[in-house]
Amino acid sequence: MANSASGVAVNDECKLVFLELKARRAHRYVLFKLDDGSQQVVVDKVGPSSENYEDFTNSLPMDDCRYAVFDYDFTTDENCHKSKIFFIAWSPDTAKVRTKMLYASSKDRFKRELDGIQVELQATDPSEMSWDILKARAF
């Protein structure tokens, strides 16, 4: 089903890969992009569970937008292991204006397809999604 605001649909693989991250912890992160040819959101890159946050941030393009989910594992002060799933809307200042507008108008519809998102971040530069910001938003 296409997004009424932007005309962009969501590829079924996006939901399947997200479920693998959420239910089985099979991935550390997933990057999604808007495919110009098919006018739908598709999986761009899947980061294995062995990768870390630095691997994730290094995989984001510096000149193009992406949607991303990141599985943030942490231990509370009570020594309890927890996990939060972050949705990150990556829209760097160097991306084309039309691209940024298309990602912005499709974001809410796409995010609704991913049931289980716990925290949302919007970032235009790596400092807006630093490790410290993630830690602060997880609690």
Number of domain units in the chain: 1
Assessment of whether the complete model's pTM goes beyond 0.85: yes
Q: How far lies 14's CA from each of 59, 72, 78, in Å? A: 18, 19, 35
Residue 40 gets the label, from left (phi > 0), alpha (psi -120 to 50) or beta, of: beta
Residue 105, SS3? helix
- Amino acid identity of residue 16, one-letter, is L
Q: Is residue 67 part of a domain?
A: yes
* pLDDT at residue 6 in the model: 59
CA distance 84 to 119: 7
Give the CA radius of gyration of the chain: 15
> pLDDT tens, 66-104?
999 999 998 888 999 889 999 999 999 999 999 999 999
Q: Is residue 71 part of a domain?
A: yes
Find the domain containing 123 and state its range.
9-35+46-138
